[in-house]
Amino acid sequence: HDEMIRHARQVLSDNDRGAYTVPTHGLYPFQWNWDSALSALGFAHYDEPRAWTEIETLLDHQWDDGMVPHIIFHAPDDGYFPGPEVWGTGRAVPTTGITQPPVAGFAVRRIHDRARDSALAGRQARALLPKIHAWHQWFYRCRDPEGTGLVALLHPWESGRDNSVDWDDAFDRVPIDGVGEFTRRDTAHANPAHRPTDGQYKRYIWLVQKFKSLGWDNTKLHDASPFKVVDPGFNAILIRACEDVADLAARLGMEEIAKESRAMADKGVAAMESLWSDELGQYLCYDRAEGKLIPSASIGGVLAAFAPIPKHRITALVRRIEELGEVCNYLIPSHDPRAPEFDGLRYWRGPVWLIVNFMVADGLQRAGEREIIDRIMGDCLRLIETSGFAEYHDPVTAEPCGGAHFTWTAAMIIEILH
């Protein structure tokens, strides 16, 4: 294991650009939001100042309305599409105009609570919590305008699970007219069979153009978007982050933040119940534009375990994961291998992602589900031993997929092995 940790640290250091890390050289040459926050967990085990810097840099690029963008284009790189000119958000340091799963609140609490330098941790947490809290408030204000307790995603890229089967039907309603010619760059860095399709890319870009035409005004985007999906995994991350912020803020004497965060978390947990499916034994996405649940057996509904959901729901999710464990060799597949849409190589339509395994296991830990946690963590280590620090892996064959030498995969290994 020492050798594996040494290797993982090498990956982090190779992808370190000073004040931020890139997910991997070539395919993703900028700072990505949730990649950064989760990668900070890895740094924190051996370089706490560097871990804090990672999150500080991310929050330095927060918008005035509270949104924290999904990509920060720190330095030009023409090896990525869609770059800053496509987004046109008009920021001095260019960013995209959409967001990503808000794991930063969770990461800050975790890094703070186990810090060796507690003075530094206290200072950093005090500076970061108000910004993270403003981001969480932005979510409930702009992505849940009717106050349901659940936020909607307006672009599949916001979910982090870009081409999940979950979005297929809702995404089909996104038109492609007016999307001009463009050249994808991702397929020059990674095997096209591991990536989203050209048809999906046209729709990704249509949505970007639509939001750009509205001046990236977040008071307008929610109602104007034809794609509005509530993802249980995403909401679970937000709820968990609110809970973590509430807990830490209370200990740091930041009473108002603590109170408001707690209220958002409680409301979210209650609202999650509306997404539960007895039939599939997991949570489901909800298509807000159509007003119906999406019967898709994907990892989003299992990732819900990351939130403080009721114990009987955790128990049911453990059953669900055990069931998945019988039909693949490596937990947890991002889509049910028995479903017709399953594709073990294609990004979020089947492959295993270590960050998801980590978050699910962390949630189950709170409920004391030891046996399944050991299986999930053991599978993570076997995957990396067999196939290296890939972006994601085939849950049946362990084939390494997407980008190689991947920052958050390495960070998760450091986290698991400590």
Min dist CB 55 to ligand DGY, Å, is 19
The amino acid occupying position 138 is: W
Tokens standing for residue 5:
């940790």
Residue nearest to ligand DGY (CB): 157
Report how many residues bind ligand DGY under the rule CB under 6 A.
4
Helical (H) or strand (E) element with 378: helix 370-387
Min dist CB 392 to ligand DGY, Å, is 11
Distance from C-alpha of 298 to C-alpha of 164, rounded to nearest angstrom: 8
The amino acid occupying position 180 is: G
Contact call for residue 162 and ligand DGY (CB under 6 A): yes
Nearest-10 crossing angle of helices 311-325, 370-387? 40
Please report, as residue ranges, which positions from 55 to 84 form the binding site for ligand DGY (by CB under 6 A): 70
Min dist CB 103 to ligand DGY, Å, is 14
Closer residue to ligand DGY in complex, CB, 109/155: 155
Please report, as residue ranges, which positions from 198 to 257 form the binding site for ligand DGY (by CB under 6 A): none
Closer residue to ligand DGY in complex, CB, 183/278: 183
Of the residues 35, 244, 343, 391, only one is catalytic, namely 391
Q: Which residues contact 75 (CB under 8 A, 6 or more apart)?
A: 17, 30
Tokens standing for residue 414:
């450091």
Closer residue to ligand DGY in complex, CB, 112/349: 349
Distance from C-alpha of 362 to C-alpha of 369, rounded to nearest angstrom: 10
How is residue 24 annotated by DSSP? B
Closer residue to ligand DGY in complex, CB, 29/344: 29
Ranges of H-type helices in 168-299: 168-172, 186-189, 198-213, 221-224, 232-251, 255-272
Min dist CB 157 to ligand DGY, Å, is 4
CB atoms within 10 A of CB 177: 6
391 is catalytic: yes
Q: Which residues contact 65 (CB under 8 A, 6 or more apart)?
A: 138, 142, 218
Closer residue to ligand DGY in complex, CB, 54/186: 186
Contact pick of 16, 54, 166, 186 for ligand DGY (by CB under 6 A): 186
Q: Which residues contact 170 (CB under 8 A, 6 or more apart)?
A: 227, 228, 229, 287, 289, 290, 294
Closer residue to ligand DGY in complex, CB, 52/389: 389
Of the residues 54, 162, 166, 260, only one is catalytic, namely 162
The amino acid occupying position 22 is: V
Min dist CB 70 to ligand DGY, Å, is 6
Min dist CB 158 to ligand DGY, Å, is 9
Interacting residues toward ligand DGY by CB under 6 A: 70, 157, 162, 186
Which residues are annotated as catalytic?
A: 162, 391
